[in-house]
């Protein structure tokens, strides 16, 4: 499975830790930046990850910024993206199971690296349940 990952400066250090985990777990990872702690604009990286997920069948995305609100809002501007802001592993699981989320957004200033990793693992381990949730997901797109 291909994973697109991106962040702004606030999420850089956690992104690097999550990227290492993904590579070690044999995921195909495409890092869309940022590549340092220098201040940058989060939409640039959110749009790059969202575009990657939109154009690569079966892929997922991981976005990080300080609160995860900015990257989540930007990614959700893309028609086929369902980005979910997740601060607990259980929320990440439910985002996949009930909302068919294809991008997880992690608030790097509000969770530690260990929790960030658990959120990512829960997101990747879960899948869409369909059923009654499919009808709801079908109503999301405008």
- What confidence tier does 24 reach under pLDDT thresholds 50, 70, 90? very high
Give the pLDDT of residue 58: 96
Nearest-angstrom CA–CA distance, 30 and 13 = 16
Q: Is the pLDDT of residue 142 over 90?
A: no
Q: Is 72 a catalytic residue?
A: no
Q: Could you tell me the residue range of the domain that residue 132 belongs to? A: 2-138
CATH number of the domain encompassing residue 17:
3.40.1400.10
Domain count of the fold of the chain: 1
**Tokens 């200033």 identify what position?**
109
Residue 35 has a CB neighbour count (10 Å cut-off) of: 12
Identify the CA nearest to 64 among candidates 32, 105, 25: 105
Q: What pLDDT, in 10s, does the model give residues 56-113?
A: 999 999 999 999 999 999 999 999 999 999 999 999 999 999 999 999 999 999 999 9
Catalytic one among 7, 65, 86, 105?
65
- Active site includes 78? no
Nearest CA among 72, 27, 66, 26 for reference residue 49: 72
Selected residue with higher pLDDT from 142 and 31: 31
């Amino acid at each position: 499975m291909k994973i697109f990952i991106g962040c702004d400066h606030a999420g850089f250090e956690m992104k690097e830790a999550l990227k290492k985990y993904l590579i070690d777990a044999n995921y195909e990872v495409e890092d869309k930046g940022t590549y340092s702690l220098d201040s940058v604009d989060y939409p640039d990286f959110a749009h790059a990850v969202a575009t990657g997920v939109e154009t690569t069948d079966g892929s997922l995305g991981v976005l990080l910024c300080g609160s995860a609100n900015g990257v989540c809002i930007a990614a959700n501007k893309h028609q086929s993206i369902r980005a979910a802001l997740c601060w607990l592993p259980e929320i990440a699981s439910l985002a996949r199971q009930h909302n068919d989320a294809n991008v997880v957004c992690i608030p790097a200033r509000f969770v530690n690296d260990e929790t960030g990793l658990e959120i990512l693992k829960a997101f990747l381990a879960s899948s869409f349940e369909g059923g009654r949730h499919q009808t709801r997901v079908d109503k999301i797109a405008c």
